[in-house]
């Protein structure tokens, strides 16, 4: 019996993600760990691996566009892309606030959405609770009025309609061509994409921290390629057939459209799936991808005897992880993606909002780490406020005269 286009898409999502889950477990590719290495030790190896993944994803998407391997123009349409990275509405407050909340959350939760799946596969029971809280936060944002009432109601008036300024999308190439009156937005986008891709590859390999580590290179390469293959599957011929088939179904599958990997909204989709009686049409590409990462990580952990159960060390550790998971769920949906969903997948489309979210995630995580480090070193002496001021001074965002704690 031939598989339907929906079944093929879901199996592709599962299979690609299994490879990614196994490799991420093996290489310890971790975006929160990358920020931690940079902030706490000055080691740039893993953050260069992350940006190498971005370069691979950008280069791969450019190849898909040039060769016609995938109809990436579908990503610019709200009706055929999930999420709509290239919408003409630059929702900059949600990108910045959502990214910041996610960055704080992934620090509290000991890893981003992707790392949470990997840790579950490796036997980390704490990450099950993080995933549950992430799903709860995402569910509130996606399926209730919570997100609008708490965030979007006051954010929407500040959104910028780029179509009024000559740009059809928030793609960096489209914005530049609109601003400077250039006739070919596609050409400008290609040039910008090539420049960013080459610059990131040169920057990554310039450091011995990165190029001397096979795991850093492998992790970045596989994550970047996984994002590209997912775009090829969902925006290529099979993806187009999937969308055409869904249009004629009485009960179409959920979240049909050109998409790649992201790991926050699928947790909300899974929560909705559980509360809706396990309806088959609610199983999404993202849910299968999240399950694939867990399964790939599990198989690798068992094969290499790295599978280890891990539990909370204290009640405060428990509370910290629950808060972290919830902030990731809320922030990830508000910012329209996580460190993979926006930080690799989104930026591969050259969407300006994705770059804003990426920067905000890094800032939120780095700031949280610095505050926590000051409070640990000055235990009993540092307040949250004094530690925050010291951290902001370290990041050159406040003048040094405001510092109450000695630099560490």
Q: Treating both helix axes as pointing N-terminal to C-terminal, what angle do 285-303 and 214-235 enclose, rounded to 10 degrees? A: 150
- The pLDDT confidence band at residue 79, using thresholds 50, 70 and 90, is low
Give me the mean pLDDT over the 274-297 stretch.
Answer: 96
What pLDDT does 122 receive?
96
Share the mean pLDDT of the chain. 93
| Sign of the CA dihedral running 23, 27, 30, 35 | negative
Rounded percentage of the chain residues whose pLDDT exceeds 90: 82
Give me the mean pLDDT over the 217-242 stretch.
Answer: 96
**Candidate from 96-105, 181-190, 305-314, 334-343 with smallest mean pLDDT:** 181-190
Q: What are phi and psi of 160, to 5 degrees?
A: -105, 125
Which residue matches tokens 């299968």?
A: 288
What pLDDT does 167 receive?
84
What pLDDT does 70 receive?
85
What pLDDT does 356 receive?
97
- The pLDDT confidence band at residue 407, using thresholds 50, 70 and 90, is confident
What pLDDT does 41 receive?
86
Nearest Cα to 88, choosing from 186, 165, 187, 188?
165
**Pick the residue with more confidence: 99 or 184?**
99
CA 58 – CA 181 distance, rounded (Å): 25
90 sits in which H/E element: strand 89-90
CA 176 – CA 285 distance, rounded (Å): 33
What pLDDT does 299 receive?
98
Q: Count the neighbouring beta carbons within 10 Å of the beta carbon of residue 176.
A: 16
Structure pTM? 0.95
Contact between 101 and 330 (Cβ < 8 Å):
yes
> What tokens does 99 get?
């990214």
10 Å CB burial of residue 169 (0-12, 13-18, 19+) is buried
pLDDT exceeds cutoff 70 at 374: yes
What pLDDT does 213 receive?
93
What pLDDT does 194 receive?
96
Cα maximum dimension of the chain = 73
DSSP 134-172: HHHHHHHHHHSSHHIIIIIHHHGGG-EEGGGGT-SSSBH
65 sits in which H/E element: helix 45-67
What pLDDT does 182 receive?
73
Rounded percentage of the chain residues whose pLDDT exceeds 70: 99
What pLDDT does 222 receive?
98
Give me the mean pLDDT over the 182-211 stretch.
Answer: 91
**Candidate from 94-98, 276-280, 287-291, 299-303 with smallest mean pLDDT:** 276-280
- The pLDDT confidence band at residue 281, using thresholds 50, 70 and 90, is very high
- Going by the DSSP 8-state scheme, the letter that residue 253 receives in this structure is P
- Going by the DSSP 8-state scheme, the letter that residue 119 receives in this structure is H
- Tell whether omega for the bond before 233 is within 30 degrees of 0, i.e. cis: no
pLDDT exceeds cutoff 70 at 78: no
What pLDDT does 48 receive?
96
CA 148 – CA 158 distance, rounded (Å): 14
What pLDDT does 163 receive?
86
What pLDDT does 72 receive?
78
Number of residues written out for the chain: 408
Q: What is the pLDDT of residues 30-60, one digit of tens each?
A: 999 999 998 888 889 999 999 999 999 999 9
DSSP 303-363: HTT----B--SSHHHHHHHHHHHHHHHHHHHHTT--TTIIIIIIGGGTBHHHHHHHHHHHH
Give me the mean pLDDT over the 348-359 stretch.
Answer: 96
What pLDDT does 366 receive?
95
- The pLDDT confidence band at residue 77, using thresholds 50, 70 and 90, is low
The most confident of the ranges 58-62, 70-74, 186-190 is: 58-62
CA distances from 319 to 68, 127, 218 (A): 49, 13, 34
């Amino acid at each position: 019996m031939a598989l339907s286009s929906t079944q093929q898409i879901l199996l592709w999502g599962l299979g690609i993600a299994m490879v990614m889950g196994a490799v991420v477990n093996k290489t310890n590719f971790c975006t929160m760990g990358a920020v931690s290495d940079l902030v706490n030790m000055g080691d740039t190896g893993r953050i260069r691996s992350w940006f190498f993944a971005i370069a691979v994803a950008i280069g791969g998407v450019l190849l898909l566009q040039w060769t016609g391997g995938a109809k990436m123009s579908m990503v610019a349409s709200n009706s055929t892309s999930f999420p709509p990275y290239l919408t003409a509405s630059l929702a900059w407050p949600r990108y910045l606030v959502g990214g910041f909340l996610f960055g704080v959350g992934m620090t509290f939760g000991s890893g981003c959405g992707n790392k949470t799946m990997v840790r579950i596969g490796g036997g980390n029971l704490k990450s099950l609770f993080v995933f549950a809280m992430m799903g709860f936060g995402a569910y509130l944002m996606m399926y209730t009025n919570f997100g609008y009432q708490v965030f979007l109601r006051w954010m929407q008036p500040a959104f910028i309609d780029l179509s009024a300024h000559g740009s059809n999308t928030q793609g960096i190439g489209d914005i530049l061509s609109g601003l400077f009156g250039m006739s070919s937005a596609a050409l400008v986008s290609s040039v910008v994409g090539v420049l960013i891709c080459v610059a990131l590859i040169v920057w990554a390999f310039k450091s011995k921290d990165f190029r001397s580590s096979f795991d850093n290179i492998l992790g970045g390469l596989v994550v970047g390629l996984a994002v590209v293959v997912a775009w090829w599957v969902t925006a290529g011929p099979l993806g187009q057939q999937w969308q055409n088939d869904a249009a004629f179904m009485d009960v179409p599958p959920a979240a049909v459209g050109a998409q790649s990997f992201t790991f926050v909204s699928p947790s909300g989709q899974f929560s909705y799936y559980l509360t809706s009686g396990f309806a088959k049409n609610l199983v999404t590409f993202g849910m299968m991808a999240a399950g694939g990462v867990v399964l790939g990580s599990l198989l690798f952990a068992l094969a290499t005897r790295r599978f280890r159960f891990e539990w909370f060390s204290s009640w405060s550790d428990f509370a910290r992880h629950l808060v972290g998971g919830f902030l990731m769920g809320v922030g990830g949906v508000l910012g329209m993606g996580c460190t993979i969903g926006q930080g690799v997948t989104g930026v591969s489309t050259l969407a300006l909002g994705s770059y804003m979210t990426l920067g905000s995630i890094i800032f939120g995580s780095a700031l949280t780490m610095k505050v926590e480090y000051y409070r640990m070193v000055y235990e009993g002496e540092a307040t949250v406020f004094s530690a925050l001021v010291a951290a902001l001074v370290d990041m050159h965002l406040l003048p040094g005269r405001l510092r109450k704690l000695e630099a560490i």
